[in-house]
A and B are shown apart, each in its own frame.
Chain A
Amino acid sequence: MRSSGDALKNNRIVKIGAIDVSLFQDILKIESFIQATACGVIIGTLTRYYLLRRDYRQYPSYPHGVLANMALGFIASVIGAVAVPALAEKEYTAVTVLALAATQFREVRNLERTMLLNLDSMQLVRRGPEYIEGIARVFEARNYLVMLTALLVGGVTYWGSILYSIPVALITIFISCQLMKGKEIGQIAKVREGKVYFKGPNLFVEDIHFMNLGTEQVKNAYLERALGVVIEPLDDNGRTTLANLGQRMAIAHDAAALLGIYRDADTAEFTPVVRRNLDTGRVALVIVPIEKDIEFLLEAVKRVPVLESALRMPLLNPIGRKASD
């Protein structure tokens, strides 16, 4: 009787112990879950902010545009951060949210494209649809980058420790920045000054003809204020890329945005123009800037991004390679 009572007592203690242990384990698990998610979300959102600062030049509306993108970045990082702990808990349905998110972020691209296209019609020097498409694509892609960063940070924190999260975040941001860094005009072409002159009514920069301009007043303004830049492609890839009209609009837009433009709605003749020499594949820009400073104009042109949609690589193909000699 006594012995069976002891056994019962012991049993109860053991049971209580088991409950305690499993409860403790549960609390630990929840804690690591929260820790992983929080780390992922915080670092993901910070990544979005960092990436947002990098494309400030392309950014049209400052405080509200930033807030809208930060909010989307936050959502992306929540989805990314939750994914790993959810998988570990065998909550597979939670992961399907990732797929849903992808469609949501495709909307971001549409949103940015529509907005920038609407704004573009009001600019003195337009960005052009190709440049806008590139910017919209970057906005979409950066949300995926944020999601990936949050996912990796969340995973590492969940299985490893919170200490690993910061180095992993830094490495991910570094790698993604390196991967996402597009080329610039300065890397595919030599950019130098070109002389602006008139032959009769025809405007030239070196041997490249731009346009026919009628009145003396306009011609004098050009001779006094205009700057010419010649862009010589380094190889056939560069030549084909520079031939793209969207790429050329981007060059004119960025140069005008950085140096100012001497024109108004009723002086269409001062629109910066980029034209191509058919024989050599060289292109030239003529611009009437507010700040007549060739050094910075060359720098501005060199830093114009090579648009993804304009980039062509004929030399990667054997036919293009053979045709180039």
Chain B
Amino acid sequence: MQLEKVILAVITVERDKIATGGAPVFYATDKEEQEKIAIYLARITEGVVHDLENGVYILVKH
């Protein structure tokens, strides 16, 4: 089976919510920076940003 949806990156303001994982993790100091990093990464990777509503954004390639 081929995986079609992949988490490309994790962008978080909550350091303790993230353990190690397959995807690179980007730490942001505040919500504003998190937004900015997320938009940049989304444009670069052609992925879509999803909000897990716990201070963590994930970037997914669909």
Residues of A in contact with B (beta carbons under 8 Å apart): 200-201, 211-218, 265-269
Known: A200-B51, A201-B53, A267-B43. A214 touches B62 (CB 8 A): no
* Shortest Cβ distance from B50 into A: residue: A212
Partner among A214, A267, A268 whose Cβ is within 8 Å of the Cβ of B38 = A214
* Shortest Cβ distance from A218 into B: residue: B49
Q: Which residues of B contact A213 (CB under 8 A)?
A: 48-51
User: Are A268 and B62 in contact (CB-based, < 8 A)?
Assistant: yes
Report which residue of B42, B44, B48, B50 has the largest number of chain A beta carbons within 10 angstroms of its beta carbon.
B48
Name 17 interchain pairs, CB-CB below 8 A, sorted by A. Answer: A200-B53, A211-B50, A213-B50, A213-B51, A214-B51, A214-B58, A215-B35, A215-B51, A217-B35, A217-B39, A218-B49, A265-B46, A266-B42, A267-B43, A268-B48, A268-B62, A269-B49
* Shortest Cβ distance from B45 into A: residue: A266
User: Are A215 and B43 in contact (CB-based, < 8 A)?
Assistant: no
How far is the CB of B1 from the nearest CB of chain A, in Å? 18
Instruction: Report the bound CA distance from A265 to B48 in whole Å.
Output: 12
How far is the CB of B49 from the nearest CB of chain A, in Å? 3
Q: Which residues of B contact A200 (CB under 8 A)?
A: 51, 53
Instruction: Report the bound CA distance from A201 to B51 in whole Å.
Output: 6
User: Are A215 and B38 in contact (CB-based, < 8 A)?
Assistant: yes
* Shortest Cβ distance from B59 into A: residue: A214
User: Are A266 and B50 in contact (CB-based, < 8 A)?
Assistant: no
User: Are A268 and B46 in contact (CB-based, < 8 A)?
Assistant: yes
Residues of B in contact with A (beta carbons under 8 Å apart): 35, 38-39, 42-44, 46-51, 53, 57-58, 62
* Shortest Cβ distance from A271 into B: residue: B62
Instruction: Report the bound CA distance from A217 to B35 in whole Å.
Output: 8
Known: A265-B46, A268-B48. A215 touches B62 (CB 8 A): no
Instruction: Report the bound CA distance from A214 to B51 in whole Å.
Output: 4
* Shortest Cβ distance from B56 into A: residue: A214
* Shortest Cβ distance from B49 into A: residue: A214
User: Are A201 and B43 in contact (CB-based, < 8 A)?
Assistant: no
Partner among B39, B44, B53 whose Cβ is within 8 Å of the Cβ of A215 = B39
Given contacts A214-B48, A266-B46, 16 further A-B contacts (CB under 8 A): A200-B51, A211-B50, A212-B50, A212-B51, A213-B49, A214-B50, A215-B39, A215-B42, A215-B51, A216-B35, A217-B39, A265-B46, A266-B44, A267-B43, A268-B48, A269-B49
Known: A200-B53, A214-B57. A269 touches B48 (CB 8 A): yes
Q: Which residues of B contact A269 (CB under 8 A)?
A: 42, 48-49
* Shortest Cβ distance from A270 into B: residue: B48
Instruction: Report the bound CA distance from A239 to B42 in whole Å.
Output: 35
How far is the CB of B32 from the nearest CB of chain A, in Å? 10
Instruction: Report the bound CA distance from A218 to B48 in whole Å.
Output: 10
User: Are B49 and A215 in contact (CB-based, < 8 A)?
Assistant: yes
Q: Which residues of A contact B35 (CB under 8 A)?
A: 215-217
Q: Which residues of B contact A212 (CB under 8 A)?
A: 50-51
Q: Which residues of B contact A266 (CB under 8 A)?
A: 42-44, 46
* Shortest Cβ distance from A217 into B: residue: B39
How far is the CB of B47 from the nearest CB of chain A, in Å? 7
How far is the CB of A211 from the nearest CB of chain B, in Å? 8
How far is the CB of B27 from the nearest CB of chain A, in Å? 16
Instruction: Report the bound CA distance from A200 to B39 in whole Å.
Output: 18
